[in-house]
Chains A and B, each alone.
Chain A
Amino acid sequence: MTYEPVIGLEVHVQLKTATKAFCGCANLFGSKENSHTCPVCLGLPGALPVFNEKALKSGVKVALALNCAVRTFTKFDRKNYYYPDLPKNFQISQYDVPFAQTGSLEIQAREGRRLVKIKRVHLEEDAGKLIHAEDGPYSLVDYNRAGTPLLEIVTEPDLFSPQEAYDYLTDLKLILQYLDVSDCDMEKGTLRCDANVSLRPAASQTLGTKTELKNMNSFKAVKMALDYEIRRQADVLAEGGRILQETLLWDEKKQATHSMRSKEEAHDYRYFPEPDLPPFVMTTSEIEEIRKELPELPEEKRRRFTRDFGLSRKDSETLTASVRLADFFEACVNLSAEPKKTANWLIGPVSFQMNSRNQDITQLRLSPSALMELIDLAETGKISQLAAKDVLQEMLETGEKPSRIVEEKNLGQVSDSSVLKTVIEQVLAAHQKSVADYQSGKENALMFLVGQVMRASGGKANPKTARQLLIERLKP
């Protein structure tokens, strides 16, 4: 029997608000341990939470971007469990009434673009961080992260391959970055993802028994863990076995999962309404106000780029994969750059530089006007394409304007026939075999000779002029 995997994802995103979710402490990553704490986030006796409505606003932005229905009335609940990183031994979360639900996110699936159903979006507080000592049997707790706002985004079981899960995560992250609500860094833990997966006979509508996968620290790891788990479940089913409902941990080193707890060992969280926080109420007009503030989202931008600038779908996708790159592109176009050429430059040489330097476009020493000037020099034949790449390199090193670099380095393209003719004579003298080849009808030899002229001129020769002169010179 062939089986189809059914996947649901739970993503936790740390919201980058100025202060924590329920107290006035700074919401900062990487500070000295326990330096951003107070009686509230330490869970000291008698302290009470006060809701940071800015966290809700960020959450509502995300929910609206995911086409969710946002409630005007919601509440917080307590999720009770013991762990030393959880100062009160309960987490303030939302249980039966999430602030948003029933949304969707469009992804590129095998059969084309389709909507993935979002089940719910809710707010909760994060826990602190345990630091296990290496020099003895004890652990330390850093509560800086305790009480920082987390957004949980849960899909319906509506993803049907590890690749779709990967694509969903990539698109979700992009939306979150466009909304500027989170750093979305899985390595730093500002974005975390758990996955539920089950198998069912192809074309069946009933869901099989699911397992929950945790501890993946990259999108790639999510994909690999799902691949592994789908194979494992398929093997169990093939041998006539049954899938046990359990929580599994992904082991990156072993590239395998192992069981953390079974269904029987699952916590009873004893949820109940948080009595210290009254339900919160938003008006429809407040929600609409937030909707108006939403920026253009990646998919709208892609469609606009193809429609208005005549870019290919693929180029639009590449440019919009970073909101900063897309903004840079638009800045160039607003300076009346030619869109397609600008796109080619950004996707080609500029992206190459970003990758090799591990910097994004805003970190490069490159302004839209400088790039435009460079493109102009190359397109009008003032410098060769080859030289242009060197000029770009030099621009990023020194921050100089391209025209200045061309001047200083004497990179201007040579189209002067009298200068080129001298170079050509030297090249012909050194490569008589190629001359003979060309004259005996081997057209390829001409390309070789043009290349040699370029080389001898230090890349400055205008290749078109050089080619023309060579043809004339070698006429029988």
Chain B
Amino acid sequence: MNLSSQTITELKEGLKKGSFRTADILASLKTRYESVEEKVRSFARAPFFQEREFRPSGCLEGIPIVIKDNICSEGDLTECCSKVLSGFVSPYNATVVEHLREAGALIMGKANMDEFAFGSSCETSCFYPTRNPWDTSRVPGGSSGGSAACVAADEAVASLGSDTGGSIRQPAALCGVVGMKPTYGRVSRYGLIAFASSLDQIGPLTKDVRDNALLLSVIAGFDKRDSTSAPLPVPDYGKEMEADIRGMKIGIPREYFVEGLDPEVRSCLAEARARLESLGVTFGEVNLPHTPYAVSVYYIVATAEASSNLARFDGVQYGLRATPASSLEPPLIAMYKETRDKGFGAEAKRRMILGTYVLSSGYYDAYYLRASKARRLIKEDFDSVFKEYDLILTPTSPTPAFKLGEKTEDPLSMYLSDIYTISANLAGVPALSLPCGFTKAGLPVGMQVIGPSFGESDIYRLAYQYEQKTPWHKMKPQL
């Protein structure tokens, strides 16, 4: 029985009926892994296919879940796909992992990612790049490229990723799966190895909207170990999404439909809009006037925080410790330098240097402080649109999946592939990407639904009703 392509909902049904057991699911996934992983390379390292202990109750009982390599799980290697963390076995579980285990899920393995989530193509992983299951000469997007690809390639039922500037949504769009970046504070960050603390959120990547809503219900909630998590109750997203969308008001931001947007992506969005209008949704053009500053603001705030967050990878306590053969410097300084030089890849170094620069005395006001002010304006843009509109609809990524190596030499063009996703992180609002069509070449296209803070239910509602009327989520890549 081929179970690898089934959704959580379908598998739960089968397990409940006794049609198969968890071991059968794992066996199917193993067969699939053995046949396609060579081509896709979704995983940071070989997953576990033997049945690990799981709690025999809960809404994910016996369901295997893949998590990104930057989420700590006790006793497992957690390396952020970076040499500097080589050999790091987490002694504790991230809160989301505890939630998954309490719900009965099994942590099946760790997905490949851009090193420390620095990238939009999964090419900066210290292991190997992940490839797009729809066209293995193309990237899966990033940084949660492995998390998206394993779900798209049916090597996993569902996965968790993390999103700092689009790292769940952009790969979800490029791989044709559903990916949610929840409201900042909705999901605990405890145990997520930080990239940019004020922007990071963990979220689910799934084969359809229902699975996504279910998984978010499990991982969301207040955590006393994360002071930035919100002390708010978690709705039953799966139930709330079934409500009608007739009369919903959707804003289309002018600033998102400009030069640089691929014509095929544009036409997919236009079709999606028509489809939604036929479901009784009304649309209006809106302005998010500070959008042009988002990428600059993001690369100041995110790199500043990253430069500080990544300072701890110094060879003292864990991970790589490199010592130069000989050095004129004091041994400690030489060890620091050698460890960080050998441990971090080029993109990580670039971002830490940038972040260090913008925080330096004499530059702080001009960069970090101004960026913080601009960030507030970007948030106010969203606040004012959401006074009149329920949701905002945009493309997720300006282009479909690009070729491996196409943007690695040009960091700026790589940074621009997150141009539509970055603002939601800066504003802290939730945003979801779901499939909305394919290009003529057969590459998936994603659309992004952005909601007000803690408005996940409405996002799922729109996405679910749209998905019910479209075939995109049922399409499978040929591998």
Residue positions of A touching B, CB distance < 8 A: 39, 42-51, 78, 80, 82, 84, 87-90, 137, 141, 268, 270-272, 275-278
The answer to whether A82 and B72 touch across the interface, beta carbons within 8 angstroms, is no
The answer to whether B311 and A49 touch across the interface, beta carbons within 8 angstroms, is no
B316 at the interface (CB under 8 A from A): yes
Query: Could you mark each residue 375-412 of chain B with 1 if its beta carbon is under 8 Å from any beta carbon of chain A, else 0?
Result: 00000000000000000000000000000000000000
Other-chain contact of A270, B71, B224, B308 (Cβ < 8 Å): B308
CB neighbors of A among B182-197 (8 A): 189-194, 196-197
B439 at the interface (CB under 8 A from A): no
Shortest distance in angstroms between A145's beta carbon and chain B's nearest beta carbon?
A: 16
The answer to whether B311 and A277 touch across the interface, beta carbons within 8 angstroms, is no
Shortest distance in angstroms between A83's beta carbon and chain B's nearest beta carbon?
A: 9
B438 at the interface (CB under 8 A from A): no
- Chain A residues contacting B450 (CB-CB under 8 Å) are none
In the complex, what distance in Å separates the CA atom of A217 from the CA atom of B479? 70
The answer to whether A272 and B225 touch across the interface, beta carbons within 8 angstroms, is no
Main secondary structure of the interface of B (DSSP, over half): loop
In the complex, what distance in Å separates the CA atom of A87 from the CA atom of B90? 16
The answer to whether B360 and A268 touch across the interface, beta carbons within 8 angstroms, is yes
Other-chain contact of A80, B85, B194, B308, B316 (Cβ < 8 Å): B308
16 contacts between A and B (CB under 8 A): A39-B91, A44-B92, A44-B317, A44-B318, A45-B85, A45-B90, A46-B90, A46-B190, A48-B227, A49-B227, A50-B225, A50-B227, A270-B307, A270-B360, A272-B308, A275-B197
B305 at the interface (CB under 8 A from A): yes
In the complex, what distance in Å separates the CA atom of A107 from the CA atom of B57? 67
Given contacts A48-B226, A272-B364, contact A88 B193 (CB under 8 A): no
Other-chain contact of B311, A42, A82, A141, A271 (Cβ < 8 Å): A82
| Total chain B interface residues with beta-carbon distance under 8 A | 45
In the complex, what distance in Å separates the CA atom of A89 from the CA atom of B311? 6
The answer to whether A46 and B228 touch across the interface, beta carbons within 8 angstroms, is no
Other-chain contact of A272, B193, B226, B359 (Cβ < 8 Å): B359
- Chain A residues contacting B225 (CB-CB under 8 Å) are 48, 50
The answer to whether B304 and A48 touch across the interface, beta carbons within 8 angstroms, is no
In the complex, what distance in Å separates the CA atom of A49 from the CA atom of B312? 15
Other-chain contact of B361, A48, A51, A270, A275 (Cβ < 8 Å): A270
The answer to whether A90 and B190 touch across the interface, beta carbons within 8 angstroms, is no
B78 at the interface (CB under 8 A from A): yes
In the complex, what distance in Å separates the CA atom of A343 from the CA atom of B50? 80
The answer to whether A141 and B316 touch across the interface, beta carbons within 8 angstroms, is yes
In the complex, what distance in Å separates the CA atom of A276 from the CA atom of B228? 6
B289 at the interface (CB under 8 A from A): no
Residue positions of B touching A, CB distance < 8 A: 70-72, 78, 80, 85, 88, 90-92, 94, 189-194, 196-198, 224-228, 304-305, 307-308, 311-314, 316-318, 331-332, 336, 356, 359-361, 364, 368
Other-chain contact of A46, B94, B316, B364, B368 (Cβ < 8 Å): B94
- Chain B residues contacting A141 (CB-CB under 8 Å) are 316
Main secondary structure of the interface of A (DSSP, over half): loop
Q: Looking at B85, B224, B312, which has the most chain A CB atoms within 10 Å of its CB?
A: B312
Other-chain contact of B336, A49, A82, A90 (Cβ < 8 Å): A82
Other-chain contact of A87, B71, B228, B312, B364 (Cβ < 8 Å): B312
The answer to whether B305 and A87 touch across the interface, beta carbons within 8 angstroms, is no
The answer to whether A278 and B360 touch across the interface, beta carbons within 8 angstroms, is no
The answer to whether B91 and A44 touch across the interface, beta carbons within 8 angstroms, is yes
- Chain A residues contacting B198 (CB-CB under 8 Å) are 275
Q: Which residue of B lies closest to A89 (CB)?
A: B311
The answer to whether B227 and A277 touch across the interface, beta carbons within 8 angstroms, is yes
Shortest distance in angstroms between A196's beta carbon and chain B's nearest beta carbon?
A: 19
In the complex, what distance in Å separates the CA atom of A47 from the CA atom of B71? 11
- Chain A residues contacting B336 (CB-CB under 8 Å) are 82
Shortest distance in angstroms between B320's beta carbon and chain A's nearest beta carbon?
A: 13
The answer to whether A84 and B228 touch across the interface, beta carbons within 8 angstroms, is no
- Chain B residues contacting A50 (CB-CB under 8 Å) are 224-227
In the complex, what distance in Å separates the CA atom of A48 from the CA atom of B313? 16
Q: Which residue of A lies closest to B94 (CB)?
A: A46
Listed from nearest, the 3 A-B pairs whose CB atoms lie closest are A89-B311, A275-B197, A270-B359
The answer to whether A45 and B227 touch across the interface, beta carbons within 8 angstroms, is no
- Chain B residues contacting A51 (CB-CB under 8 Å) are 227
The answer to whether A88 and B92 touch across the interface, beta carbons within 8 angstroms, is no
Shortest distance in angstroms between B193's beta carbon and chain A's nearest beta carbon?
A: 4
Shortest distance in angstroms between A40's beta carbon and chain B's nearest beta carbon?
A: 8
In the complex, what distance in Å separates the CA atom of A39 from the CA atom of B190? 10
The answer to whether A48 and B190 touch across the interface, beta carbons within 8 angstroms, is yes
The answer to whether B361 and A268 touch across the interface, beta carbons within 8 angstroms, is yes
Shortest distance in angstroms between A195's beta carbon and chain B's nearest beta carbon?
A: 24
The answer to whether B360 and A84 touch across the interface, beta carbons within 8 angstroms, is no
- Chain A residues contacting B85 (CB-CB under 8 Å) are 45
- Chain B residues contacting A88 (CB-CB under 8 Å) are 311-312
Other-chain contact of A47, B190, B224, B305, B317 (Cβ < 8 Å): B190
Shortest distance in angstroms between B87's beta carbon and chain A's nearest beta carbon?
A: 13
In the complex, what distance in Å separates the CA atom of A184 from the CA atom of B359? 35
In the complex, what distance in Å separates the CA atom of A440 from the CA atom of B279? 133
In the complex, what distance in Å separates the CA atom of A272 from the CA atom of B189? 20
In the complex, what distance in Å separates the CA atom of A260 from the CA atom of B346? 35
- Chain B residues contacting A271 (CB-CB under 8 Å) are 359, 364
In the complex, what distance in Å separates the CA atom of A316 from the CA atom of B191? 56
Q: Which residue of B lies closest to A273 (CB)?
A: B372
10 extra interface residue pairs, beta carbon distance < 8 Å, beyond A45-B312, A46-B94? A44-B317, A46-B192, A48-B189, A48-B228, A78-B308, A80-B307, A84-B316, A271-B364, A272-B368, A276-B197
- Chain B residues contacting A268 (CB-CB under 8 Å) are 360-361
- Chain A residues contacting B227 (CB-CB under 8 Å) are 48-51, 276-278
- Chain B residues contacting A47 (CB-CB under 8 Å) are 92, 190-191
- Chain A residues contacting B304 (CB-CB under 8 Å) are 272
- Chain A residues contacting B313 (CB-CB under 8 Å) are 45
Given contacts A49-B227, A268-B361, contact A89 B314 (CB under 8 A): yes
In the complex, what distance in Å separates the CA atom of A42 from the CA atom of B92? 12
Given contacts A137-B331, A270-B360, A272-B368, contact A82 B314 (CB under 8 A): yes
Other-chain contact of B312, A43, A48, A137, A276 (Cβ < 8 Å): A43
Shortest distance in angstroms between A14's beta carbon and chain B's nearest beta carbon?
A: 23
